[in-house]
Structure formats: C-alpha cells, structure tokens
Structure 1
Amino acid sequence: MNEADVVTAAQKDLKQRRERKKETEEFEEYAEKAKTLPENTANENKLILYGLYKQATVGPVNTSRPGMFNWKDRAKWDAWKAVEGKSKEDAMSDYITKVKQLQEEAAAAS
C-alpha cells in the first residue's frame, strides 16, 4: 500500500465516522421528539419504538425473557427481540422513520 492509498483510506474512514456521528445525532434528536408524542399513541407503536431504541442503543437482547405475570416488561422484551437481527444503523433509521410517521399522524389528527 503506497502513501496515496493510506491517505485515501484515512479520508474514507473519517468520512464514515462523520456520517455515523450525524446519524447518531439525528437518532438522539428523534428520541427526544418521541417523548413529545401524544399520550394516546397506540401501545403497539410505543413497543415498536422501544424495541428499535433498545436495538440501536444496546444491541441484541441481553436479558432473559420476563415471566408471564410481568406482562408489561415481557411485551417490551418481545418488541426488542422482534428486531434483534437489525444492525444498529438500521434500527436507528427505522426508529427515526417511525417517529416521523407518528408525528405526521398526530398532526393530521389534530
């Protein structure tokens, strides 16, 4: 590998890191926006957001499934497990898309 190849590789790496940082910042922005969704947002949609958020921030499920009498935590765990195969980047992108969709639906309903 010559010097030009090293410089090109370093530039490419820097560009990728900047893009990831931008994606992460946008994800964090939409995580804050999700907190302002209407209270009447369907539980199904809240669970989808929860699963995508956990996949984006933690990665694959790393806990045991809660017992059947702990239905709320079990539903959250199931939502996270449902997106376990997604990459962090895909989970962030899907999360942003879902928040945008829910914001549009809320605006149309008001």
Structure 2
Amino acid sequence: MGLKEEFEEHAEKIKTLTQSPSNEDLLVLYGLYKQATVGPVNTSRPGMFNMRDRAKWDAWKAVEAKSKDEAMSDYITKVKQLLEEAAAAA
C-alpha cells in the first residue's frame, strides 16, 4: 500500500473513534491533513474574532515547512496513536 492510500485509509479510520479527540489533537490532525492535501497555507489569517478558524489556520501554518509526504506520514502516526489510546481506554 502506498503512502497516499494509507493516508486516506487513516483519514477514514479516525472517524470511527467513539470519543472525540482533544481540541489540541484535532488541531494537529487538521493542520497535517491540510498540509498533506493542499500544501502550504494559501489563505490569509482569519480575524481575531473568528477564534475557531484562526486556531485551525495557525495549526496549518505550524506545519507549513513539511512536505506533503511528511505531513501524510505524521498524520498516519497521529491517527494510530489516537486509535491506540482509545483502545487502551476501552
């Protein structure tokens, strides 16, 4: 299985979690997903009154230096970690 296929598989697996990850974990996943699928940030930073979108933008900007492959690999690792934590807590 190639990296892209494994990435897409884990993007689906994360949806199977019964308990939502922390906001911090969700932001990490969001940033890595956007970097892997879109590439470097291509929009301006949302205004300070739009806290949710601003946090998402910041999470994406934080991983902007990663290549798409690095972002995919890191995303897969993070999903595996969250799935293992969920299994251990069950």
Cross-structure match for 2:49 = 69
* Cα distance in structure 1, aligned partners of 2:26 and 2:18: 11
* Residue 60 of structure 2, aligned match among 69, 74, 80: 80
Larger RCO: Structure 1 or Structure 2 (Cα < 8 Å, ≥ 6 residues apart)?
2
* Cα distance in structure 2, aligned partners of 1:38 and 1:98: 16
Shift of 1:91: 0.2
* Cα distance in structure 2, aligned partners of 1:84 and 1:62: 10
Cross-structure match for 2:27 = 47
After the TM superposition, which residues 1-110 of structure 1 pair with which residues of structure 2 at under 5 Å, given as runs?
Answer: 22-110=2-90
Deviation sequence 1:38-65 (CA, Å, 0-9, x none)? 3331000000000000000000000000
> Tell me, what secondary structure is at the counterpart of 1:35?
helix
Q: What runs of 5+ residues in structure 2 fail to find an aligned partner?
A: none
TM-score where L is the length of structure 2: 0.95
* Cα distance in structure 1, aligned partners of 2:53 and 2:18: 21
The amino acid across from 1:70 in the alignment is N
* Cα distance in structure 2, aligned partners of 1:40 and 1:50: 14
Shift of 1:78: 0.4
TM-score where L is the length of structure 1: 0.78
The amino acid across from 1:34 in the alignment is I
Shift of 1:22: 1.0
* Cα distance in structure 2, aligned partners of 1:37 and 1:83: 24
Structure 1 runs (4+) greater than 3 angstroms displaced: none
* Cα distance in structure 1, aligned partners of 2:51 and 2:18: 23
How many residue pairs were aligned? 90
The amino acid across from 1:45 in the alignment is D
